[in-house]
Amino acid sequence: MMRLVVLTGAGMSAESGIATFRGSDGLWENHRITDVASPEGWAKNPHLVLDFYNQRRKRILEVAPNRGHEILAELEEHFDVQIITQNIDNLHERAGSKNVMHLHGEITKARSTSDSSIVIDINGSELNWGDNCPIGSQLRPHIVWFGEEVPMIQPAAELCATADIFLIVGTSLQVYPAAGLIHSTPSGIPQYIVDPNTPAGISGQLQVIAKGASAGLEVVKEKLLRLL
Ligand code: APR
């Protein structure tokens, strides 16, 4: 089977009703990044940070995967689909995708503030001040914040290097190192991007489908099936 590696961002989940980060009414228009998504914000006011992610978790669990997520899951019938997502939601998994790598963490998990290898499933529960890990330290959201290492970037780059086809969906490609993953793909493979606002400065090798995730992935599916 040909390997299809897919990099997804917030636009993937927009049609499910989850706000993107940048752009009008995006999450970063309405919140200061440093307050809610940085180690400094956590040190200054962990209650605010916990509340921000508790609200986001609640919203994510209220919404459903969209047609775009479903198409990526359906493509597993024909391709070895490997998803690398910047999203912290679980909509790819809920749509049925089996291979999902989360670059920026997962909203349904918490991790110890004293030992980052202690990661706990909290599913839909709130995470509050005083919720401790088994060795007695405060739990924090299992999210990669600005200024933190991205532990999954190396496995993600290695996966990109094995791609036969590369597909990007719904990301402004403004945040590194995720945005640099395209440079880890083999040269000459088919590459597609689905995004209604194509990011500036992308390489000419990318085929642009300037549509939302659901409509755009219908187009991509047809193109991919023709490659078989
Ligand atoms: N379908 C597809 N793409 C869409 C849709 C849609 N319906 N609606 C918007 N988009 C596109 C936008 O045009 C934009 O290019 O989704 C992209 C969202 O970009 P960002 O808000 O910057 O989100 P993302 O690229 O995922 O952000 C990367 O930055 O804030 C941090 O850690 C956070 O993982 C996040 C990272």
Asked if residues 68 and 12 have their Cβ atoms less than 8 Å apart, the reply is: yes
Residues 29 and 128 in one domain: yes
Residue 205 banded pLDDT, cuts 50, 70, 90? confident
Quote the pTM value: 0.97
Residue 93 beta carbon below 6 angstroms from any ligand 1 atom: no
Asked whether residue 21 carries a pLDDT value surpassing 90, the answer given is yes
Asked whether residue 204 carries a pLDDT value surpassing 80, the answer given is no
- What share of the chain has pLDDT > 70, as a percent? 100
Residues 13 and 81 in one domain: yes
What are the phi and psi torsion angles at 106 (to 5°)? -140, 135
Q: Which phi-psi region, left, alpha or beta, contains residue 136 (left: φ > 0; alpha: ψ -120 to 50)?
A: left
Residue length, the chain? Answer: 228
What's the domain range around 137?
19-62+109-143
CATH number at residue 86: 3.40.50.1220
Question: What pLDDT is recorded for position 23?
Answer: 80
Question: What pLDDT is recorded for position 75?
Answer: 98
Residues 99 and 115 in one domain: no
Residues 211 and 182 in one domain: yes
Question: Which is more confidently placed, 13 or 198?
Answer: 13
Question: What pLDDT is recorded for position 16?
Answer: 98
CA of 154 to the centre of ligand 1 (A): 22
Residue 106 beta carbon below 6 angstroms from any ligand 1 atom: no
| CA dihedral sign of residues 79, 80, 86, 88 | positive
